[in-house]
């Protein structure tokens, strides 16, 4: 089956430290997006720093490097250690990072941005109709059982559970409108075991947190040879984000003898991974389309 590549959105790659940060409340932050989700990378340098955000949907906050204090407008609070995935209820929330810490704030909408724009905002002025909508996707089961439970902050230490036996490098979690693959390994990735693939109805974000990656990219050939492109091999250092458009073949390779951590981001959540039993907290949600 051929694809009309004339409607393919450009690949987006961002090594955050190469761009001027937004400095607010002691935090340095950078904002990028796909059609369906926002990624804000925030850092606290020499003192505690506050990051604030608001969304109509649940927010996922990934905590690295130092402890974090989280709060939501409903009065819920929580403490998170480094290497935790936190799921916050809809509404206005905040994260106070310990000195030297960093976090990634993942949302399918941001109601607090005002005139602030993502680094790649211009790429998304025209929606790609092939991309499945972020919502309705899933709803938290506890929302129908207890208002207090629904408004709580969930903190999931990534080391508190094991990866699927059939997929030992990946740990997977979801919110109502997002899912992530926490991809982690030491040393170089085995070049004989890469995983080139593409997606027909969603974009993928790949957030590099540690290590050094080469992202290998190949365009499928459509009928119009004028649109064909050479393969690309893009080297990115963390913290960095790659936003992969629909139908672009891609795989990522850790290329140094060090620890590698890559977070793959999807919206809506990956129903295929949920069906395979790979998503650790899938039991907390039910399909909103049923």
Mean pLDDT value across residues 18-31: 93
**Is residue 4's pLDDT more than 50?**
no
**38 with 110: CB under 8 angstroms?**
yes
- The total domain count for the chain is 2
Mean pLDDT value across residues 75-99: 97
Assess whether 139 and 249 both reside in one domain: no
Assess whether 45 and 140 both reside in one domain: yes
Assess whether 188 and 231 both reside in one domain: yes
In a domain, 17, yes or no: no
Assess whether 199 and 150 both reside in one domain: no
Question: Residue 8: what pLDDT?
Answer: 54
**Is residue 151's pLDDT more than 80?**
no
**Is residue 5's pLDDT more than 60?**
no
**141 with 64: CB under 8 angstroms?**
no
More reliable by pLDDT, 167 or 248: 248
- The fraction of the chain above a pLDDT of 90, given in percent, is 83
Residue 238: CATH number of its domain = 2.60.120.10
Assess whether 120 and 174 both reside in one domain: no
Assess whether 74 and 196 both reside in one domain: no
How much is the mean pLDDT over the chain?
92
Assess whether 111 and 187 both reside in one domain: no
Question: Residue 182: what pLDDT?
Answer: 98
The pLDDT-based confidence of 15 (bands split at 50, 70, 90) is very high
Minimum mean pLDDT range among 28-37, 56-65, 133-142:
133-142
Contacts for 141 with CB less than 8 Å, ≥ 6 apart: 283, 284, 285, 286
Enter the tokens of residue 189. 């990735």
In a domain, 169, yes or no: yes
Q: Residue 36 and residue 203: Cα distance in Å, rounded?
A: 8
Question: Residue 146: what pLDDT?
Answer: 40
In a domain, 270, yes or no: yes
- The fraction of the chain above a pLDDT of 70, given in percent, is 94
Chain CA centroid to CA 14, Å: 14
In a domain, 5, yes or no: no
The pLDDT-based confidence of 251 (bands split at 50, 70, 90) is very high
Cβ neighbour number for residue 68 with a 10 Å cutoff: 28
Q: Residue 54 and residue 58: Cα distance in Å, rounded?
A: 9
At 209-237, the pLDDT tens digits run 999 999 999 998 889 999 889 999 999 99
Enter the tokens of residue 225. 């040879």
Minimum mean pLDDT range among 43-57, 105-119, 248-262:
43-57
In a domain, 11, yes or no: no
Question: Residue 227: what pLDDT?
Answer: 83
**202 with 36: CB under 8 angstroms?**
yes
Assess whether 203 and 281 both reside in one domain: yes
**Is residue 132's pLDDT more than 90?**
yes
In a domain, 273, yes or no: yes
Any idea how long the chain is? 290
Assess whether 116 and 49 both reside in one domain: yes
Assess whether 218 and 108 both reside in one domain: no
Enter the tokens of residue 179. 């899912």
The DSSP line for 109-170 is --SS-TT---TTGGGGSS--TTSPPSSS-EEEGGGGT-HHHHTSPEEEEGGGSPPPTTSTTE
Mean pLDDT value across residues 84-98: 97
Assess whether 178 and 251 both reside in one domain: yes
The pLDDT-based confidence of 290 (bands split at 50, 70, 90) is confident
In a domain, 205, yes or no: yes
Question: Residue 143: what pLDDT?
Answer: 55
Range of the domain at 150: 22-124+135-155
**81 with 67: CB under 8 angstroms?**
yes
Assess whether 26 and 146 both reside in one domain: yes
């Amino acid at each position: 089956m051929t694809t009309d590549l004339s409607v393919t959105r450009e690949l987006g790659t961002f090594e955050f430290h190469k761009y001027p940060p937004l400095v607010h409340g002691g935090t340095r932050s950078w904002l990028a997006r796909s059609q369906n989700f926002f990624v804000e990378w925030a850092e606290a340098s020499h003192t505690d720093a506050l990051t604030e955000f608001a969304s109509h949907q649940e927010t996922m906050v990934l905590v690295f490097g130092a402890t974090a204090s989280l709060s939501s407008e409903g009065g819920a609070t929580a403490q998170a250690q480094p290497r935790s995935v936190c799921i916050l209820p809809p509404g206005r929330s905040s994260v106070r990072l310990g000195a030297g810490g960093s976090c990634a704030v993942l949302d399918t909408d941001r109601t607090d941005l005002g005139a602030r724009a993502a680094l790649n905002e211009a790429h998304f002025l025209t929606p790609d109709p092939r991309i499945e909508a972020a919502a309705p996707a899933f709803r938290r089961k506890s929302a129908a059982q207890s208002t207090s439970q629904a408004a709580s902050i969930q903190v999931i230490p990534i080391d508190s559970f094991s990866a699927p036996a059939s997929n030992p490098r990946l740990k997977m979690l979801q919110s109502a409108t997002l899912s992530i693959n926490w991809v982690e390994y030491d040393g170089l990735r085995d070049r004989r075991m890469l995983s080139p693939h593409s997606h027909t109805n969603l974009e993928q974000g790949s957030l590099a947190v540690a290590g050094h990656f080469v992202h290998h990219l190949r365009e499928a050939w459509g009928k119009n040879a004028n649109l064909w492109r050479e393969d690309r091999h893009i080297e990115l250092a963390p913290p960095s984000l790659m936003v992969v458009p629909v139908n672009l073949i891609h795989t990522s390779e850790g290329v140094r003898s060090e620890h590698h951590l890559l977070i793959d981001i999807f919206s809506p959540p990956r129903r295929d991974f949920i069906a395979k039993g790979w998503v650790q907290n899938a039991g907390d949600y039910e399909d909103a389309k049923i």
